[in-house]
């Protein structure tokens, strides 16, 4: 799977590429508007990460370019501006998602995962992971064809872990994923532990292997 990272902050772009590379993603980086235009017109990507403030031009115009060329690449805007107008404008011009900086790599990775699945599988979007089957549009989970009843938050967590396989995710990143900006306002994220405990329990009761590991002192990891 090919990802294009359009980001002028090289350090950040390299980090994203490094984080994503373990997931069989092939990452390319474009640091200016011109370079981005060349790459977009020349190649096809599964997902494009787009910073709106670029040297040489406005990122929104790249979205318009994609639309004109009738390209089907998934686009996630990553912006430091975090303004509602930009978000609405971006989504209206054809972006699939919007993520405000600073973000956790795990959040970005989960969103990329989700965008690619939506683009490629549309309505028959079913993830098969080990013995788990996740029906995305129906929001249901089954193990060995037996349905497992998960709460919305447990379902979100499961998807998040599967979008970040084999990587350590901090409790803070999980809290932020579950409650968005509000997570910022609290130092105590113990509720994450409660949700994970429930998720683990439900999965193992349904006969699922123990893939979700607690990494002492740092967070959690889905190993498979």
Partner 1 sequence: MSKLLNKPFKAFTIYALVILACSIPVYYFVVNSIWMEELDEHNLIIKQRIENKLGNIQLDEKELNETLLLWNTLQPGSRLTPISQPKERDSVYTFTRQNEYISDEVDRFRGLSSSIKVNGKFYHLAIETNVEEADETVVAIALVTLLFVVLLVAGFIFLNRKISKRIWQPFQNTLHKLKSFDLTEGKPIRFEQTDIEEFEELNQSLHKLIDKNISVYSQQKTFLENASHELQTPLAVLKSKTDLLLQNKHLTAEQSEILNAIELPLSRISRVNKNLLLLAKIDNSQFAETENLDVSTVLTQSTELLADYIQDKNQNLSHEVKQPLTLACNKLLLEILLNNLLINAIRHTPKNSTIIIQLKDNMLQIQNTGTEALNKEKLFKRFAVSSSETASSGLGLSIVKEICHRYQWQINYTFENYLHSFSVIF
Contact between 32 and partner 1 (CB under 8 A)? no
Closest to partner 1 by CB, 146 vs 215, is 215
**Minimal distance, residue 200 CB to partner 1, in Å:** 17
Binding letters toward partner 1, positions 148-177, x by CB under 8 A: -----x-------------xx-x-xx----
Instruction: Round to whole Å and give the CA distance between 71 and 55.
Output: 23
Contact between 216 and partner 1 (CB under 8 A)? yes
Closest to partner 1 by CB, 124 vs 188, is 188
Closest to partner 1 by CB, 26 vs 80, is 80
Closest to partner 1 by CB, 121 vs 186, is 186
Contact between 182 and partner 1 (CB under 8 A)? yes
Query: Binding partner 1 by CB under 8 A: which of 67, 101, 197, 201?
Result: 101
Binding letters toward partner 1, positions 35-74, x by CB under 8 A: ----------------------------------------
Which long-range CB contacts under 8 A does 128-133 form with residues at least 24 apart? 129/162, 129/224, 130/208, 130/209, 130/211, 130/224, 131/207, 131/208, 131/209, 132/158, 132/203, 132/208
Closest to partner 1 by CB, 22 vs 41, is 22
Contact between 128 and partner 1 (CB under 8 A)? no
Contact between 19 and partner 1 (CB under 8 A)? yes
Contact between 202 and partner 1 (CB under 8 A)? no
Q: Given the rule CB under 8 A, which residues bind partner 1?
A: 9, 11-12, 15-16, 18-19, 22, 80-84, 101-106, 153, 167-168, 170, 172-173, 178-182, 184-188, 190-191, 194-195, 215-219
């Amino acid at each position: 799977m090919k990802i294009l990272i359009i980001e002028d902050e090289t350090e950040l772009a390299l980090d994203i590429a490094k984080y994503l590379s373990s997931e069989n993603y092939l990452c390319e980086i474009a640091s200016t508007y011109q370079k981005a235009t060349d790459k977009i017109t020349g190649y096809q990507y599964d997902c494009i990460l787009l910073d709106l403030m670029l040297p040489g031009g406005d990122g929104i115009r790249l979205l318009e370019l994609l639309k004109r060329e009738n390209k089907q690449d998934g686009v996630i805007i990553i912006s430091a501006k975090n303004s509602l107008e930009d978000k609405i404008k971006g989504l209206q011009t054809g972006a699939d998602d919007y993520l405000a900086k600073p973000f956790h790599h795990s959040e970005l990775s989960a969103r990329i995962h989700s965008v690619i699945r939506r683009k490629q599988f549309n309505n028959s979007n079913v993830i098969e992971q080990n013995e788990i089957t996740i029906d995305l549009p129906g929001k249901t989970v089954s193990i060995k064809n037996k349905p497992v009843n998960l709460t919305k938050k447990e379902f979100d967590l499961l998807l998040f872990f599967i979008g970040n396989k084999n990587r350590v995710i901090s409790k803070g990143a999980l809290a932020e994923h579950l409650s968005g900006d509000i997570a910022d306002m609290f130092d105590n994220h113990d509720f994450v532990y409660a949700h994970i405990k429930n998720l683990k329990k439900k999965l193992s009761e349904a006969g699922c292997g123990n893939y979700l590991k607690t990494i002492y002192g740092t967070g959690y990891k889905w190993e498979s």
